[in-house]
Structure 1
Amino acid sequence: MKTSINFKAAKSDSEAHNFRKKTFDYIRKDLTVKNEYWSEEKLSDRLHKIESYCKEKSGRKLQKNAMPIREAVVVIKDDTTLQDLHNLSKRLEEELQIRIFQIAIHKDEGHFDKETKEWKPNYHAHMVADWQDLKTGKTLKHQSFHYSKMQDITAECLGMVRGTEGSKGRLEAIEFKIRKKEQELLALDEKINGFKSELSSKKFENLIVKESDFLGFKKIRTDHTLDNYEKVFKTYNVQLSKNKQELEFKNKVIKELQSKNLDLKKEISILKDKLSSVLSNGNIYSSEKIKYLDSVKDTLIKTLQFEKTKLPQLFTGSKEKLIAEINDVCKKVSQENNIPFSAFEEVFKDSESVSQIISLLNFGNSEIYYNSEQIPLQQKKKKQRRL
């Protein structure tokens, strides 16, 4: 499956759409529960900070035509998680200085196929970014190769195939339309030839109605004959239309399955190569483990911060209450992102990670500090078999 990422100036009402603060006619409300959201800061608050920093750094106000906050729509898979998108955010910041501060995964948009009436989901994610250059205070200046790299990073982080480059994609689209028109022309020719052969056959002689006049001569009754032909043509048209729709549907399904099969083969090949490298090299194994646990920790921290933004009093109180609340968040992140719970246990074995998480939750409050031994994560209770 192909993916792409394209940033444009963020609209003032993007939060209403992204976080479903309003109802929209084009979404399926029964699927909205599958959406996922994360926000580090409100759009208006971030814009105010950008404007202040620009004036402080450059001595000038932010230009009116500047686009300091931009938004991208990213094509995702049905199993893409917030962790995947946080990993993408991290790479974009490290390599292109693009700082993502809002993410919304939408799984409630799409359309019904006109022919099959089947629901075709449009899985995508909205990523809102701070486009300010921290060195100059102005907006980031990227060149064409940076945008190309952006596509590579996105495909790599999401485990998908990179989208086709613009000019090549447009050429393929035109060629596809030409082939489609040629196929339509051939189908029309076949239809005409079929009618010609039917008309020339003796089968249609039975449709001609003849009557004898008072002199005994046979004459064709034009009105009855035309009625007979009209009925037959209607039947043929209905049958041809039905056969055409059935053939098109089957071809469509085959093409979709072939495309999915090809994508799966590519993913399997990539995973096999990666697994082979990890198993055959101890250093690569250690590196991949550290990278994965860092990703888990980053996802957990961002989720904890988001939960605290929604409920400021959530992580306050006794040590036992704090542990229970962190444990609940770990379970939630584990389920939503398909992360083994043991990964969180590994994260909390590291004292530096624990200190980092607690300090972020305190937001300047130095009263609560616990070491890693004091943050035991509760194991999931195993269901006992009844004898």
Structure 2
Amino acid sequence: MNYFTAVKTSINFKAVKTNSEAHNFRRKTFDYIKKDLTGKNEYWIGDKILQRFKLIEAYCKEKSGRKLQKNALPIREAVVVIKENTTMQDLHKLSKRLEEELKIRIFQIAIHRDEGHYDKDSKEWKPNYHAHLVADWQDLETGKTLKHQSFHYSKMQDITAECLEMDRGVSGSKVRLEAIEFKVQKKEEELLLLNNRITEMKAAFTSKKFEDLIVKENDFLGFRKIKTDKTIENYERVFKSYNTELLKNKEILQSKTKIITEFKQKNIELTKEVSLLKNKLSFILSNVTAYTKEKEVYFNSVKDTIIKAIQFEKFRQPKLFDTTEEKILAILDGICKQVSEKNNIPFSSLAEVFKNPDSSLEIFSLLNFDNHGIQYNTENTPVQQKRKKIKRSQ
């Protein structure tokens, strides 16, 4: 990624699969997931794939006068590599940039933290953190599918890297850096113990312990002589035992060395990340224009995340807000608390968003009331107008 994290991100859109929703939203059980981690997954949906496809077909016919081509790919899906602490807010931010700059509209997001594998050497769980983004690939100007050139796909990678690298401050990276350093220290201690064990075993071959393996018996004249066959048998038995243990320790040693190398590489990359974040923070704090811009971008992102969360709840429970004003406010409060907790957004930031009249109006327009009892029309968005009143979630 742009800020040199331990894992590089990528995004690659392909034709959506027929079982995408079952997989993405865990409607079926899969062998390759760690079920005790499934609860850490996160989901957002603005429309079902089948419903969106029907709307795309209808809009294409109305806009162009022709049916959607059979070989068209109007709905596509991307798997995006993310970090352990990537939030839904980060992915909404990415979705917004993809729409603004490439006209790609994301209408489903699934964050998966329950996939991965066990390392064959260390037997440790290696998580595969990623997100599925399902996108509407229709050009609203023509009704046909979007046409992108190679430089657009390059830009797509840049946008993804930039959006997913917007960590909240330096402290988080410091904590992770310290954790990596601690793990490296522990693994190096284990490695030292293994090396000492191998040294001890090698030294044992020259110790007096092996004298006990020599078998001596008196001959018919009363002289003590070595019984070669029994002595060799003893040595073979001991050598076999030591050889087995040495091989076992060698495998463990290789495994630990591999882990230490990985951790040291992460350590180097996280150190770079901390340095870059410090420089960015210093620049923002010392530049009024940059500070104002960053602040505006951040609060807009918070607002959009709240709006997306409300839309998701309305999708899941269409009549959720058909209730009293008091209950609606309680529901909104619960949604905001959840957004704050899952995206590491301080309540002070939520308060700033609601202090802004335009932002507050935009949020309350999704509900069935405002402070003056006025009903808002949420269907008259620019996209809805473009589609000539064909109802389509954004």
Q: Give the TM-score band, short-chain normalised.
A: 0.7 to 0.9
Q: Relative to structure 2, which stretch is displaced further, 127-136 or 54-63?
A: 54-63
Residues 81 and 129 in structure 2, CA contact (< 8 A), matched pair in contact too? yes
Q: Is the 8 A contact 1:358 1:369 kept in 2?
A: no
Partner of 1:283: 289
2: distance between equivalents of 1:300 and 1:119?
Answer: 34
Q: CA deviation at 1:250?
A: 2.1
Match 1:258 to one of 253, 264, 269: 264
How far the C-alpha of 1:9 sits from its partner, in A, is 0.9
1:321 to 324, 327, 335: 327
What is the CA–CA distance in structure 2 between the aligned matches of 1:101 and 1:292, rounded to whole Å?
Answer: 22
For 1:111-260, list aligned pairs within 5 A: 111-159=117-165, 231=237, 234-260=240-266
Structure 2: how far apart are the matches of 1:154 and 1:53? 29
Deviations 1:17-75, CA, capped at 9 Å, x for gaps? 10111122221221111110000000001111111122222222222222111111111
The equivalent position to 2:55 in structure 1, one of 49, 56, 65, is 49
What is the DSSP-based 3-state SS (H/G/I as helix, E as strand, rest coil) of the residue aligned with 1:362?
Answer: coil
Q: 1:207 to 1:274 in 2, by over 3 A?
A: same
Q: What is the CA distance between 1:8 and its match in structure 2?
A: 1.2
Cα separation, 2, equivalents of 1:302 and 1:160: 19
Match of 1:62 in 2: 68
CA contact (8 A) 2:122 2:256 kept: no
Residue type of the alignment partner of 2:140: L
Shift of 1:87: 0.6
In the alignment of these two chains, the number of paired residues is: 334
1:359 is matched with 365
Conserved 8 A contact 1:305-1:361? no
Quick one: structure 1 residues 331 and 11, their matched pair in 2 at CA, closer, same or farther if it must change by over 3 Å? same
Cα pair distance change 1:59/1:237, threshold 3 Å: farther
Alignment check: 8 A CA contact 1:4 1:74 kept: yes
Distance 1:90 1:13 in 2: 26
The equivalent residue for 1:9 is 15
Displacement, 1:331? 0.6
| Candidates 329, 333, 339, aligned match of 2:339 | 333
Q: Distance in 2 between matches of 1:133 and 1:154?
A: 21
| Identical-pair percentage | 67
Q: Which has the higher contact order (CA 8 A, sep 6+)?
A: 2
Matched letter for residue 70 of structure 2: K
Contact 1:110 1:121 in 2 (8 A): yes
CA distance in 2, matches of 1:59, 1:123: 43
**Do residues 107 (structure 1) and 117 (structure 2) align?**
no
What SS does the aligned partner of 2:12 have? strand
Quote the Cα distance in structure 1 between the aligned partners of 2:246 and 2:95.
52
Q: Distance in 1 between matches of 2:94 and 2:134?
A: 13
Evaluate the alpha carbon distance shift between residue 208 and residue 63 of structure 1 in structure 2; reply closer, same or farther with a 3 A threshold: farther
The gaps in structure 1 that reach 5 residues or longer are 162-203, 212-217, 371-387
Q: Determine the C-alpha separation between the residues in 2 that align with 1:227 and 1:148.
A: 68
Q: Structure 2 unaligned runs (5+)? A: 1-5, 168-209, 218-224, 377-394
Letter in 1 for 2:16: A
TM-score, structure 1 as length reference: 0.76
Equivalent of residue 298 in structure 2, options 268, 271, 292: 292
2:202 corresponds in structure 1 to none
| Aligned equivalent of 1:304, options 293, 304, 310 | 310
Query: Aligned equivalents of 2:98 and 2:306: distance in 1?
Result: 19
**Cα deviation, residue 316, structure 1:** 2.6
1:74 is aligned with what amino acid?
V
In structure 1, what is the Cα distance between the partners aligned to 2:368 and 2:14?
35
Q: Is 1:83 aligned to residue 96 of structure 2?
A: no
Q: Take 1:268 and 1:311, find their aligned partners in 2: how far apart are those partners?
A: 42
Give the stretch that moved more between structures: 236-245 or 75-84.
Answer: 236-245
| CA offset digits 1:309-328 (Å, max 9, x no partner) | 11122223232222221111
Distance, in Å, in 2 between the alignment partners of 1:15 and 1:236 is: 54
1:25 matched residue in structure 2: 31
Aligned amino acid, residue 273 of structure 1: N
CA contact (8 A) 1:131 1:140 kept: yes
With normalisation by structure 2, the TM-score equals 0.75
- What is the Cα-based RMSD across aligned positions, in Å? 3.4
